[in-house]
Amino acid sequence: MSATPAAAAEPGRATAWWQNRWVRFAARRLLRLLVSLWVLVTAAFFMVHLVPGDPVRAALGPLAAADVVAARRHALGLDDRLLVQYWHFLRDLCTGQLGDSIGTQLPVGQIIGQRLPATAELALLAFAVAMAIAIPLGAAIAALTRHGRARRTELAFAGSSVVLGAVPDFVLGVLLVFVFAVQLHWLPVAGRDAPSSYVLPVLALAIGPAAILSRIVRVEMLAVLDTDYLRTARAKRLSGLRIHLVHALPNAVTATLTLSGLLLGSLVAGTVLVENVFAWPGLGSSIVGSITNKDFPLVQGTVLVYGIGVLLINTVVDVALAVLDPRSTIGVD
Amino acid sequence: MKNWSRAVRTPLGLTGFGLLALTLFTAVFAPLLWGHQATSFDTDNMLAGASAQHWFGTDNLGRDIFFRVLVATRLSIALAVSATAISVAVGIVLGSAPMLLGRWLGRPIIGLVNTVVAFPGLLLVLFFAVVFGVGAQGAVLAVGFAGAPVFARLCHTLMAGVAGRDFVAAARVSGVGSGRILIRHVLPNIAEPLMVNATIGAGGVLLSFAGLSFLGLGVQSPAYDWGRMMQDGLTGIYVHPLAALAPGAAVIIAGLAFNLSGEAVARSLGVQIDVPWRAAVTPRRRRAPAAGARTGPDTDTDLVLDVRDLRVAFPHGDAEISPVRGVTFQVHRGEAVGIVGESGSGKSLTALAVADLLEFPARVDAERLTFLGADLRDGTGHRHLLGTSLAVVFQDPMTSFNPAHRVGAQLAEAARAHQRATRAQAWQRAVDRLRAVRIPDPRRRARQYPFEFSGGMRQRAMIGMGLMGTPKLIVADEPTTALDVTVQRQVLDMLQEVRAADGVAVILISHDVSVIAEVCDRVLVMYAGRVVEDLPAGELADGARHPYTRALVAAVPDMRSDIDAPLATIPGQPVDPAHVPAGCAYAARCPLADDRCRAQDPPLRTAADRSRVACWHAGEPLPILSDLAALEVDA
């Protein structure tokens, strides 16, 4: 990365606003978000049309009368040409209309509105817990076990993190229920009411990502601790705490952040399984039912919400990355 | 395939492939051996706990859970492997699109793949589950298609790597079609990493599948895989936890089997060996001073640095190697001391040891190592002294600044740490120091990040960082090696200026004799971890007495060098620190060497003019170049 931006190389010359690093970065990132959003919306639209056969017939069952099917088709606008349907879909989406659930006849937006908070809460809590475990743990293990010191600590960490990282969240959830709810009676088995009911679902979601992330943090931290600029920091005789926290950690975490974004995304998806283990009243427990019942408007809406959530997370991570490591604002897409 | 067999022999590979073999064995034989036990109803023992008859108890129809878990292996593995195969196949098709369809069609496809990859796998699985419907067949397709983008991106990256290679270009030039190039030349070359990733991927797919069945969207009754069994078992977890936990354990074991196997092969494909050479860890307490060490008070008030018998050792296998083997020198106020030598002569390690920057596993011993009267051997007590009085300038200015912090902040923190300056004071001083090292527009520059500085500016800023305190000694380790010639000049001038202005002593490490001769008062010549000559810099050109020093000087081209003649070099290889020969370490390359040199190491003797040399034949005339060439031919 030896590039010296033209703007910086010539001191004193005023630069146009569109040449500003941050403006260009924001424009590029926004464009990417919009493209991804369009892919998501289009995919959600075509999902229903990709279902083999007639989705309405599939939803209403083989015994439904032909005129009922025809009426429902008409009501859903499935008689129109595909492009017209696509246009209507986009238009309704822009005005926040997601249609009505076939099963309950309630507006999809209302169902999602009721269930989204529970899911978001679960995912964000789990992410916070995963980061709070992974970053200090990985960094500490790296600092303690460099150059083959404390071999046993390293082995114990490596072994347990591999195993915990490989346990799928719903299996872990079942295991946690068995140990802490069935055997020890410390925590409730399921539901979402008292704060104690949050512990197991959050842990079930967080432990796997925490194990994987802490390994990454460790590797990154080890690499950063060997860099020339860390030697410079030591040459300044800063305190060990400052060397590790101010000089090493931000650089170790930047590389980790990209991955943690992916992990948070998969954590959002993981809520589907964990919610089903703990009967958590979120989107995850409703989407399964709506897939089996072929409640397509509800599925479409839920998929959109999950997808948008993931896109927003990725964007936030990129922005955080740019703030932590300004070099990431340069470069081509 | 060599890598696979090698991977099996590592502990990780042994575990992985062992588990994998066990899993596959169970998948093949369990339904044949225990298919009957797994489906027969024991109506007397419904929902029973573990017993001698039913090791893991029975389910709600009295079927044996242990055998059901074993028998379910086949379906679970078969579904996972089929889905992985679909992922890889679709991935190859999508990934090779730019190659087969050309850029205009291929690039949008890859763009789409990159967009889709950003969504988590399980979401894609759910999406495709809607399209393909509920059930085992739909689930295989859903999981397979959902995994395709990851493999598409992988294939694309791998193919792009191979496509640039010579044999592909050659095939293209000779008119071979894209499809044929893909099948004959590209795919065989990416097969191995693809297989490794598919193996690891199969582990993930297995978990996805279990998840899907657990949700009730995958395998449907009466068929059963592990996910389905967990779902059935979860409702009765109070009564009969094993019904849910046993298939869960099976999922974990099988997932690990695929993961570890792939991981082991991936590691054997790209082995990295950790060499502790350019090591940097937290300082380790040094050995107690040797008995009889002279530790009398300093009478010499101008003495900045006093080094006696400095040794640096690293663990090397079971033994130890010593790249620095007993170095003794002193540096006085305002003096510039150069250390020259080839790579591996120990000059940089000497500098780092003096600056107290060598860390575990390096071990530093010295009879004496004092800086401004403080004994540096006794650990970490001199943080503020070193932080304000000893500055270090490193070789590569491009990598020596922290990319995450502003340049000004990196200067200012030294003042904050050691001089109790407020944030504003420290920043003001940082700007001031940047101005002192002639950074233009220092106020603005201080707010910039290192990547916005040029190499020469960074190196000057690094010197400025050293000037945040009131340095008495600057240790500059090859400060100009990474810079181009005109910038080298600026940096050397800057060092000279600082030295002249404040009487700062300088230790300049370089492999470039001409730089040393120009900047320094005195030169230490190092070879194989020892000082072999110590002389005034002015005498380098014609007063050097050690054959090595003279060879180094002769190797410097100047304006009078015959540009048609090959550049003068020193014949032979530098000494490997792990195999230091008996006698004089330079003997093997020395034209004056005799039997005494090869048997006895010459001591470093001080002459009347206080210069020092370690050579049995110091100052003897060298054979002229043509003789030297002849000597080489003889050898």
**ipTM of model:** 0.79
Are B400 and A225 inside 8 Å of each other by CB? Answer: no
Per-residue pLDDT of chain A (333 residues; tens, 9 = 90+): 344 444 444 444 556 776 777 788 888 888 888 988 888 888 888 887 777 767 677 677 777 777 887 887 777 777 777 888 888 888 888 887 777 777 777 888 888 888 889 898 898 899 999 989 999 999 999 888 887 777 888 888 888 888 888 788 888 888 888 888 877 878 777 777 778 788 889 999 999 888 888 888 888 888 888 888 888 888 888 888 888 888 888 888 876 777 777 777 778 888 888 998 888 888 888 888 888 887 888 888 888 888 888 888 888 878 877 777 666 666 533
Chain A residue numbers touching B280 (CB-CB < 8 A): 225-226, 230-231, 234
Cβ of residue B256 closer than 8 Å to a chain A Cβ:
yes
Task: Give the mean model confidence (pLDDT) for residues B122-146.
Answer: 86
User: Within chain B, which residue ranges are assigned CATH 1.10.3720.10?
Assistant: 2-269
pLDDT at B337: 94
Is residue B524 classed as helix, strand or coil in its secondary structure? strand
Long-range contacts of B624-631 (CB under 8 A, 24+ apart): B625/B568, B627/B591, B628/B571, B628/B591, B631/B591
Q: Which of A223-237, B97-111, B181-195 has the highest mean pLDDT?
A: A223-237
CATH of the domain at A199: 1.10.3720.10
* B217 C-beta neighbours (distance < 10 Å), count: 24
Nearest to B592 by CA among B621, B612, B572, B614: B621
Asked, for residue A257, whether it belongs to a domain, the answer is yes
The reply to whether B239 touches chain A by the CB within 8 Å rule is no
Of A10, A230, A232, which to mutate for an interface test with B (greatest number of B Cβ within 10 Å)?
A232
Q: Which among A3, A147, A247 is the nearest to B360, CB-wise?
A: A147
CA pair distance B511, B478, nearest whole angstrom: 8
- Kind of pairing between the strands at B390-393 and B473-477: parallel
Q: Which tens digits make up the pLDDT trace of B402-417? A: 888 899 999 998 888 8
Range of the domain at A231: 116-332
Residues 6+ apart with CB under 8 A from A330: A3, A5, A21
Cβ-proximal residues to B256 (8 Å cutoff; 6+ apart), any chain: A162, A163, A166, B16, B19, B203
Neighbours of A322 (CB within 10 A): 19
Q: What residues of chain B lie within 8 A of the CB of A254, using their CB? A: 404
Residues of A in contact with B451 (CB under 8 A): 1, 3-4, 326-327
Q: Count other C-beta atoms under 10 Å from residue A47's C-beta.
A: 18
pTM of the model: 0.73
pLDDT tens, A50-59?
777 676 776 7
CATH topology of domain B2-269: MetI-like fold (1.10.3720)
Structure tokens at A184: 């020890």
Identify the residue with better confidence: B561 or B256: B256
Mean pLDDT of chain B: 81
Tell me if B280 and A269 make a contact (CB, 8 A cut-off). no
Rounded average pLDDT over B337-343? 90
Q: Give the whole-angstrom CA distance, residue B462 versus residue A248.
A: 19
Is B474 within 8 Å of B414 (Cβ atoms)?
Answer: no
In a domain, A181, yes or no: yes
> Does residue A143 form part of some domain?
yes
Residue B41 Cα, gap to closest chain A Cα (Å) = 26
Among A292, A324, A325, beta carbon nearest to B134: A292
pLDDT (0 to 100) of residue B625: 53
User: How many whole angstroms separate alpha carbon A46 and alpha carbon B453?
Assistant: 50
- Of A263, A63, A281, the closest CA to residue A169 belongs to A263
Mean pLDDT in residue range B460-484? 86
- Angstrom distance (rounded) from CA B629 to CA B612: 29
Give CA–CA dist A105/B241, Å, rounded.
Answer: 38
B130 touching A (Cβ < 8 Å) = yes
Helix axes A151-166, A108-144, angle to 10 degrees: 160
A105 lies in a domain?
no
Largest interatomic CA distance in chain B: 107
CB of B119 less than 8 A from some CB of A: yes
pLDDT of residue B276: 30
Residue A240 belongs to some domain of the structure: yes
Distance between CA B535 and CA B486 in Å, rounded?
Answer: 28
Number of folded domains that form chain A: 1
- Residues of chain B in contact with residue A252, where contact means CB-CB under 8 angstroms, are none
How close does chain A come to B237, measured CA to CA in Å? 7
- What is the DSSP-derived secondary structure letter of residue A100? B
CB–CB of B130 and A326 under 8 A? no
A91/chain B closest Cα distance in angstroms: 22
DSSP per residue, A209-237: HHHHHHHHHHHHHHHHHTSHHHHHHHHTT
C-alpha distance from A64 to closest chain B C-alpha (Å): 19
Nearest to A231 among B214, B357, B451 (CB): B357
Is B211 close to A240, i.e. CB distance below 8 A?
no
Q: Which residues pair with B525 in a beta bridge?
A: B340, B533
